A and B are shown apart, each in its own frame.
Chain A
């Protein structure tokens, strides 16, 4: 007999994560006063990494509602909790906006920007002219407005779906399921637009004279994969009292494994499409972004990203036996999370260090700082609630899910 009650554990994890987060952020702040530019790039790295996972979790919930997926019901609360931590990022984005001039060359039409790693190289006249053309989009006030819109959408969607879902824990009203399923499809266009433009804003405009229409999808693909990894790891570790992990069957893990495989391939597909099109067309205004990464000092990292980020996990996940073993699957998920970090580093860092990969200690502090706070926020949200939607009309079906 398994008894599931409201979850009240995890206080240790929460405190620890919160402490790590605060220490990390304090150290990052120290880093900022000693070396502002690399610290801001590091902070952007930590921020986009964790935020992407949180937003991807919101999108996941909306997608599964839209698709009326039933097997996933048991895992849904965890996704909702991951998404609920998005409010923390509404605060964490502020330092990013305040320090925008250290990372975004387009601030002030590019006139103040000095290329890092050079002795005083600035934009040329022609380049400034191009930046001026983009200034209706690339200006700080509009950036602030956009961030406000993104976070409003994310917080609202996450809050709305999660509140209904938790209300059902007590009332068991079927109407709430109907509401969630009606609301989700309508929210998807907004989620798609915001994640696309968030990807443009935070990552693509680091190189303001370069553009790629697929870039938003690329950021989304990586984040979505990472969110599945976090979901897998959380599920494998949720074996304590009142936690849902004990109710999860191998069939669920099998599906999670398949999703990891599918999204590893999807990420690689998007990455390859972007690369191949720019590489073959070889237009000067576009090729520079890849030239920096596939020639010279960044080349080894680019190749290893292809091999270690796609080939290795893809062939590993093809194995059926692996997908049926939760512990092994969690190991692969951790590996993929590391690869996602390498991917973001590969996207961000060449803008700061075009001469080659380099390390700055704030990369670590901001990563664990933002991550610690996000995890603590999620744990805080999880406490006092059921770890699975106990009165969802499909929960018994999900609990008994077998591979069809």
Chain B
């Protein structure tokens, strides 16, 4: 993709010069060397946390969901909060891999693989909660419409919870396919690097006989584009349907029409925060600072400002309409959120989600990995509280004051939630060991920006594209129309 005419003002995507061979070498290195001590420490921690989660879930399933803090009034709390939280985190992966691909944002190339993997792991964590909330998870297949000997008694297609089943399972399937599809060429690279033995055999099977044929590449690119085109509306639909779980009800604070776009924006917001958290750790631990550059981090913080702004706008609109509607229940719910017994949760949410992203307006903050890391954690906390506030504060004050109640999570619930982090990090750490976490092929295709004539420091005049012999003259009007049009001068001091 390097034969595109590029302005000399562009900043290169890969910050140090590398040959193609060096790129292969570097990206494959983490999976070929022995794991570092830090990796083992992290892995041990993750596995221990996972074990806690497994223990809690085992206890819960064998005892019954009475071990949770739910009651007659608050029938949904921690579990669904965590479900929405994890699904939301997954969305950034698809956004980076599909939507940024459609927008031809080339900076996505060094983070998309890891982000997609993150999507898969996050969706796995999310799916745990509704399944264990069923109480009898071995009957989970009852949610599928299959002919049965009860009549056939079918699932209720008018229920948003069933839409969720379809949405989440489709999302997981398509994300997995998209991710694996993107991996095939890189699996072949790994296959060709391995000398022999079991690893070679495994990668040989996994890489589907990839030869790097341009005829296949041509089809591959078409399919990749199609998958991106499918994944884009899919990711929007998933969180839209998650929001339908609440918004189709008649519960004040849940039933509001802005929920679909607002949930999607919130999901992207929290997901990007999670990608940042992971990427900042990964780039340091694996030494990928020149591939996952400050510029990548900065771009993601900008996405956070925008989505954070949309989320804030939605909070404001909801509050305004709650008053404007004149509906006493709506009004009460919103006043109760801000000043009731869960006000602490509400103000935590506002501080983390509405106030803190604005620190990213400062370039200093946007370019400091340490600051971004802290803020990304703050936003993750804020978005978790957003779901908690929506779910619990709306439920705990029922229409009937005699049913008013409070909710406190039990150790089992907290343990299960912590356990999902264990699962997430265990899978992610394994992923960094066994597969190339950066898309080798895609990074190579953008590495041209860092090579020779494409880097700003090397360019002598703006229209260098016309030098390369393969440039189609037909694609560009040449010579440039007027002297005025060619007036762009090379300036390296401008932060354009």
Contacts and interface: CB of A to CB of B under 8 A. Distances in A.
Chain B binds chain A:
yes
A196 interface: yes
A70 B160 CA distance: 41
B462 A396 contact: yes
Identify whether the interface residues of B are mostly helix, strand, loop, or mixed: loop
Contact of A1 (B240, B305, B475, B479): B479
Contacts of B472: 402
A62 B101 CA distance: 22
Interface string A8-45: 00000000000000000000000000000000000000
B7 A393 contact: yes
Contacts of B494: 174-175, 177-178
A185 B305 contact: yes
A283 B488 contact: no
Contacts of B484: 4, 169, 172, 390-391
Contacts of A277: 244, 247-248, 255-257, 259-260
A391 B480 CA distance: 12
Contacts of B4: 402, 404
A273 B477 contact: no
A281 B248 contact: yes
A311 interface: no
Interface in B268-308: 302, 305-306
B105 to A, nearest CB: 9
A364 B139 CA distance: 61
A325 interface: no
B7 A396 contact: yes
Interface of A: 1-5, 66-67, 70, 130, 133-134, 137, 169, 172, 174-175, 177-178, 181, 185, 188-189, 192-193, 196, 211-217, 247, 249, 265, 269-270, 273-274, 276-278, 280-281, 283, 285, 390-397, 399-402, 404
Contacts of A175: 494
Most A CB contacts (10 A, CB to CB) among B257, B316, B326 go to: B257
Nearest to B251: A281
Contact of A404 (B9, B104, B256, B261): B104
Contacts of A270: 260-261
Contact of B233 (A265, A395, A401): A265
A194 B429 CA distance: 46
Most B CB contacts (10 A, CB to CB) among A4, A196, A217, A247 go to: A217
A217 to B, nearest CB: 6
Contacts of B482: 3-5, 390
24 contacts: A1-B481, A133-B326, A137-B324, A169-B484, A185-B305, A211-B321, A213-B318, A214-B258, A269-B240, A270-B260, A277-B244, A277-B247, A277-B260, A281-B248, A281-B249, A390-B485, A391-B484, A391-B485, A396-B7, A396-B463, A396-B488, A399-B480, A400-B476, A404-B4
A3 B485 CA distance: 10
B482 to A, nearest CB: 5
B479 A283 contact: no
Nearest to B331: A133
A134 B7 contact: no
Given A277-B247, A283-B255, 7 more contacts: A174-B489, A213-B314, A269-B240, A281-B247, A281-B249, A281-B255, A394-B9
B465 A391 contact: no
Contacts of A278: 257
Given A181-B496, A193-B313, A211-B324, A70 B477 contact: no
Interface in B442-496: 462-463, 465, 472, 475-477, 479-482, 484-489, 491, 494-496
B301 to A, nearest CB: 12
A35 B479 CA distance: 61
B198 interface: no
Interface string B307-348: 001100110111001001111000000000000000000000
B5 interface: yes
Q: Nearest 4 A-B pairs (CB), nearest first?
A: A213-B258, A400-B476, A214-B257, A400-B5
A213 B5 contact: no
A175 B310 CA distance: 29
Contact of A396 (B240, B250, B321, B485): B485
A280 B241 CA distance: 13
Given A1-B479, A70-B7, A247-B477, A213 B496 contact: no
B480 A396 contact: yes
B15 interface: no
Given A174-B496, A265-B233, A396-B7, A217 B258 contact: yes
Given A178-B496, A283-B250, A400 B325 contact: no
Contacts of A2: 477, 481
Given A214-B257, A397-B5, A397-B6, A285 B327 contact: yes
Interface string B81-96: 0000000000000000
Contacts of B236: 269
B1 interface: yes
B309 A249 contact: no
Given A211-B321, A390-B482, A273 B257 contact: yes
A276 B6 CA distance: 46
Contacts of B321: 211-213
Contacts of A174: 489, 491, 494, 496
Contacts of B256: 213, 277
A304 B126 CA distance: 39
A4 B483 CA distance: 10
Contacts of B477: 2, 247, 399
Contacts of A215: 257
A117 B26 CA distance: 75
A400 B481 contact: no
A404 B445 CA distance: 11
Interface string B218-241: 000000000000000100100010
A130 B325 CA distance: 8
A400 B496 contact: no
A276 B244 contact: yes
Contact of A212 (B257, B313, B495): B257
B317 A399 contact: no
Contact of B481 (A247, A285, A402): A247
A319 B440 CA distance: 32
B326 A393 contact: no
A196 B317 contact: yes
A3 B257 contact: no
Contacts of B318: 213
Contacts of B233: 265
A129 to B, nearest CB: 8
Contacts of A193: 313, 316
Contacts of A249: 475
Contact of A274 (B257, B314, B316, B481): B257
Contacts of A181: 496
Most B CB contacts (10 A, CB to CB) among A178, A196, A399 go to: A399
Nearest to B330: A211
Contacts of B486: 396
A118 B390 CA distance: 42
Nearest to A208: B324
A189 to B, nearest CB: 6
A390 B484 CA distance: 6
Contacts of B305: 185
A345 to B, nearest CB: 21
Contacts of B324: 134, 137, 211
Contacts of B463: 396
Contacts of A265: 233
Contact of B313 (A189, A269, A400): A189
A391 B481 CA distance: 12
A273 B6 contact: no
A4 B261 contact: no
A175 B494 CA distance: 8
